[in-house]
Amino acid sequence: MKIKFWGVRGSIPTPLDSNEIYDKLKETLDLMTLHDVKSDSAKKAFLDSLPISLRGTYGGNSTCLQVIPDSGDTIIIDCGSGIKKLGNELMKTEFGRGEGNANILITHTHWDHIQGIPFFMPFFVPGNRFTFYSPIKDLKKRIEYQQIFTHFPVNLDYMSSTKEFAELEGDSEFVLNGISIINKRFRHPGGSFGYRIEENGKTFCFTSDCEFNLDELDNIGSYESFFRNADVCVFDAQYTFDESVNKIDWGHSSASIAIDIAARFGVKKLILFHHDPDYNDKKIEQVLANAKSYLSVNKEKKRSDLEIDIAIEGSILEI
């Protein structure tokens, strides 16, 4: 199973601006030596040695992941602005010929998780088939409402692919071509669902837009079966701990909470996700550094098999 990140931001897409690019270039030039420009290979080695905050970006698109199971199915989680680039890639395959078939898991319908739908080109190709899965009872109505004439010039019906909606029972499991998918309700304004995907003994958990305040932590045992021994868990860490204390009921968590839960339930790899739109790339890098420091100083939480990383738009993770 592989996971590709097409959108990693929370709340609103956050593109780089000219000042940020200028600052990256200036700092990069300050670090460069004559040796680093002697040859193409030296230039490449120098650029490869730089942190992502200088040589690239963690990403500005809102939530969208592609799950690539061993079965060959196409599974998409959420339809934030990142789905536009995913659609462009899919158009180079059978989806461009109207022969594509994909399954879409929706966590909830806040704008940053559905705003890419009108710009997903495979939806416009007759013959393509898409099935939306979610415990949200009126999911089709909500998505259609996003594209009513007062909001967008093209409605959902104009997009000529076949789109079907399958309502799941909350906190339940279903099987899709041998892949087990479990949904779990998380605390978030308006409600949100996480997904646990299991295939060939490997487990991936996706828990965007979840808040674990003191009340929820008192009930943490109810989440054990969802998180237990996951190979990879992508977890909402939009806030610092201080921010999470000051933004109770805003619906997001911190890296420290994510680490506590991952360590408690035997998660092997934790990916911090849903980056705050006010964080630049250096701040996101600092979030990861602070998270690793938190793990190292909390000896009771430190386990040799718990890895921590942070979501990067365009990256592929193999489980």
- Helix/strand/coil for 23: helix
Tokens representing 291 are 């998270």
Identify the CA nearest to 175 among candidates 42, 93, 75, 294. Answer: 75
Please determine, for residue 216, whether its predicted confidence score (pLDDT) is greater than 80.
Answer: no
pLDDT attached to residue 218: 74
C-alpha 160/C-alpha 141 separation (Å) is 17
Say how far apart CA 266 and CA 68 lie, in whole Å: 24
Ranges of H-type helices in 91-186: 139-146
pLDDT at residue 299 is higher than 80: no
174 has a pLDDT exceeding 70: yes
Q: Does the pLDDT at position 26 exceed 70?
A: yes
Counting beta carbons within 10 angstroms of the beta carbon of residue 249, is it exposed (0 to 12), middle (13 to 18) or buried (19 or more)?
exposed
Determine contact, residues 281/21, Cβ cutoff 8 Å: no
pTM of the predicted protein model: 0.94
Structural domains in the chain, sorted by start: 2-14+57-312 (3.60.15.10)
The angle at the Cα of 164, spanning 82 to 190, to the nearest 5 degrees, equals 60
pLDDT tens profile 34-77: 999 999 999 999 999 999 999 999 999 999 999 999 988 999 99
* Residue 248 pLDDT: 61
Distance (Å, whole) CA 91 – CA 120: 10
End-to-end CA distance of the chain: 5
Overall residue count recorded for the chain in this entry: 319
Cβ-count burial of 94 within 10 angstroms (0-12 exposed, 13-18 middle, 19+ buried)? middle
pLDDT tens-digit readout, 125-140:
999 999 999 999 999 9
